[in-house]
Chain A
Amino acid sequence: MSELQHQTWSRLNDLEYAPAPESRDIVSIRPNYGLFIDGQFTDPGSHQGFQTINPATEAPLATVALGSAADVSRAVISARRAYDQVWSQMPGKERAKYLFRIARLIQERSRELAVVETLDNGKPIRESRDVDVPLAAAHFFYYAGWADKLEHAGFGAQPRPLGVAGQIIPWNFPLLMAAWKLAPALAAGNTCVLKPAETTPLSALILAEILQQAEIPPGVVNIVTGDGSTGAALVSHPGVDKIAFTGSTEIGRRIQRELAPSGTHVTLELGGKGANIIFEDAPLDQAIEGIIDGIFFNQGHVCCAGSRLLVQESIADEVQRRLVRRIEQLRVGDPMDKNTDVGAINSAEQLSRIHELVDAGVAEGASRYSTTCTLPDKGFWFAPTVFTEVSQTHRIAREEIFGPVLSVLTFRTPEEAVAKANNTTYGLACGVWSEKGSRTLWVAERLRAGVIWSNTYNKFDPTSPFGGVRESGFGREGGRHGLEAYLNV
């Protein structure tokens, strides 16, 4: 450059980030877990057990009890007794204090919970530490405050709880989904039987320890681990007044059908195929980050993932170019490494589902780009992938992949963007990127989705209602609206 010679420095072609593994020492996972019923852990030896593994290494973490129909029944009976004798009789302000206690204890054990979550789920420690666990605590804090204010919630003067709530949660945000289910239910005065996902039971079992520490009355919360049969037993149990389910649309449909004769209350938070719409006047650098957050957050194991990218044709080439450049920067690997952006796929089963749909995408003629990162030998991994030249009839544009796979489609006008975004049986979430407020609101009004993120994506807050329309389910979690799912109003 100038006539001056700068001392030459070897150029760092690529900064090497240190593997910065979070320590496992903080958590002591027991070799065996029983069920948490009536305030106590049952003897693990008295149950059939199943292993839960670390999806990043396939190493076993613990043996967990497989709850039988009889176990579910005991849990429901315990919850009923606690409802009748304790929880429904307790003044709201006392219930509130239990919830505040739980929130505090989650904060105090946050590192431990984050590590357990990452070990059991495969998600990056950065996410479990910065998103899952803090939001879980925040959720309990938020609903704690409602417990003694229900008559001000807009559902009439004396809103009544429903009774015993059966709650079935997925594996993508195990602790957070437990918080989303338990906090409003307990605040509203219900007692609970929670069924964690088969592949991610551990954080809920730590939560059970927290419930003991909080000295929550026995039976108010029961946690029954197990597989699909355990969940089915809970759904069909006649002593349950309400089922809240988060998971696939297929199972949700089955649950709704099964509960139809009894008229048991039900709320469903199901699948999605969210459209992330990028207009030509979008704040482009942030939009690229939003696309990344939209589909690669939590390995794309997010029901509201922005899995369909809709780009205005005038900027489609530029967006695709930037996107490819950006996804090459993603750090895929050890979830316990604080620098990791994309962790492990939660299970072999999910990985094969992703493979199946990606293969279908290729076979149907879409153009596949997967990052060149090296993937670990053991464990379940899938490289961040972007499909271009996708058309709306492709399976990868219609079916929920639930993995780090993005389908890129284009549009020309706002109307076409809305039409394509709505051309799905789902309706959970969408993103809109534009610097033009009037157009953003015009689009937001027309999108059939329960959540619309404008110039951002995948943001969650306990005060903000979350849930879907159409085949993404019904009922809301979060906010004042979230109480309605647990009140007889």
Chain B
Amino acid sequence: MSSDRLDVRKTYKLLINGAFPRSESGRTYEVIAANGAFLGNVARASRKDLREAVVAARAAQPKWQAATAYNRGQVLYRMAEMIESRRDEFAFHVAQSEQHNDRDAQLIVSAAIDRVVWYAGWTDKIAQVLGGTNPVAGPFFNFSIPTPTGVIGVIAPQESSLLGFVSCVAPPLAAGNAVVVVSSTTRPIPSLLLGEVTATADVPGGVLNILSGEVAELGPVLAQHEDVDGVDLTGAGDLAPTLAADASGSIKRVFRATTADHDWAVDPGTRRLRAFVETSTVWHTVGQ
């Protein structure tokens, strides 16, 4: 940083419906690294912002579901391309947020890119792996297809600001869900940067909505919102049991991470893909 010039500091904003608003409440908070360094100002989303995000997600979801799986794969792959093209910037912010050295941060960014690519490749395989035909004992053609659950609320992991974040967000997106995600409260910047990246990755507005703020404030609203069909409580910590109870009000699908799930380096398998798909089974008569 050159000392003879005052740097321009960016306030990170929310991503709602493809736009980057400040919080309607006007609130921001300072992100401070574990070593005390000031990392930036970010918007602090309100309940109302979250409500707006859910409305946007609900509106965007049918189109995202109706897009071809091939197309969804391309969009996710484009997201990976965009991260790759700005990997140094991501690495810088991951290093700052998570207090890694540059080499480790680069490895994390690589893993995050590869994770997104992995899920990009899943979009047109989910139906084949999770669906199929069922040999019922009668004159019927019967098949099961996985369909997206709908609008998914994600409480992103608090520690893993980029790799953990994409590992939670990409699978529901790959399956055709729209996502409203509450970023890591203390490490939101890599995810907000990712939000900016999506603006140039052809992710349709409303499909991915990213809010920075307090889990204690936003989590219950998300978990209780009847128009949210499922919640991923990976980053909810001690609040997870309460939020899971809140989710029962509208019989939401709830994903609770185990300790093993927080090891972001390992092969994630299909668990997160299966978490937010519904099996829809169609019977049709077979006759002349």
A residues with a Cβ closer than 8 A to B are: 138, 154, 156, 249, 252-254, 256-257, 260-263, 268, 270, 425, 440, 444, 447, 449-456, 459, 461, 463-467, 469-474, 476, 479-481, 484, 489
Contact = CB atoms under 8 A, between A and B. Distances in A.
A256 B223 CA distance: 13
A260 B241 CA distance: 5
B248 A260 contact: yes
Interface in B239-288: 240-242, 244-245, 247-251, 253-254, 256, 269, 271, 274, 278-285
A454 B285 contact: yes
Contacts of A253: 248-249, 251
Contacts of A480: 132
B229 A470 contact: yes
B149 A469 contact: yes
Contacts of A465: 134, 144, 279, 281
Given A263-B244, A469-B149, A454 B284 contact: yes
B81 to A, nearest CB: 30
A479 B144 contact: yes
Nearest to B66: A445
B210 to A, nearest CB: 25
B26 interface: no
Nearest to A458: B283
A1 B269 CA distance: 77
A479 B282 CA distance: 13
Contacts of A474: 251, 253, 278
B285 to A, nearest CB: 5
Contact of A138 (B137, B240, B279): B137
B136 A261 contact: no
Contact of A249 (B134, B241, B251, B278): B251
B274 A484 contact: yes
Contacts of B250: 425, 470-471
Given A154-B129, A470-B229, A459 B251 contact: no
A360 B284 CA distance: 35
Contacts of B256: 263
Nearest to A441: B282
Contacts of A447: 280
Contact of A459 (B140, B149, B245, B274): B140
17 contacts: A138-B137, A253-B248, A260-B241, A260-B248, A261-B241, A263-B244, A440-B284, A447-B280, A450-B279, A450-B281, A453-B283, A454-B282, A459-B136, A463-B135, A464-B136, A479-B281, A480-B132
A489 B261 CA distance: 12
Main secondary structure of the interface of B (DSSP, over half): mixed
B142 interface: yes
Interface of B: 129-130, 132, 134-138, 140, 142, 144, 149, 226, 229, 240-242, 244-245, 247-251, 253-254, 256, 269, 271, 274, 278-285
Nearest to B62: A446
Contacts of B144: 464-465, 479, 481
A31 to B, nearest CB: 38
Contact of B279 (A260, A470, A481): A481
Contact of A464 (B142, B229, B242, B247): B142
A461 B134 contact: yes
B121 to A, nearest CB: 17
A256 B140 contact: no
B284 to A, nearest CB: 4
B12 to A, nearest CB: 33
A254 B245 CA distance: 9
Given A257-B249, A261-B244, 6 more contacts: A252-B251, A256-B247, A261-B241, A456-B283, A465-B134, A472-B251
A333 B129 CA distance: 48
B251 A452 contact: no
Given A459-B138, A481-B144, A452 B247 contact: no
B244 A260 contact: yes
Contacts of B244: 260-261, 263
Q: Which one of B229, B254, B284 has the greatest number of beta carbons of chain A within 10 Å? A: B284
Contacts of B129: 154
B280 A449 contact: yes
Contact of B282 (A254, A444, A461, A471): A444
A257 B134 contact: no
Contacts of B253: 474
Contact of B280 (A262, A425, A450, A472): A450
Contacts of A254: 248
Contacts of A453: 282-283
Contacts of A263: 240-241, 244, 256
Contact of A450 (B135, B138, B140, B278): B278
Contact of A471 (B142, B251, B278, B281): B251
Given A138-B137, A263-B244, A470-B229, A256 B278 contact: no
A135 B267 CA distance: 39
A256 B251 contact: yes
A465 B137 CA distance: 14
B135 A455 contact: no
A210 to B, nearest CB: 22
A461 B285 contact: no
A449 B245 CA distance: 24
B271 A489 contact: yes
A254 B249 CA distance: 8
A469 B147 CA distance: 10
A465 B142 CA distance: 10
Contacts of B130: 154
A473 B251 contact: yes
A467 B271 CA distance: 19
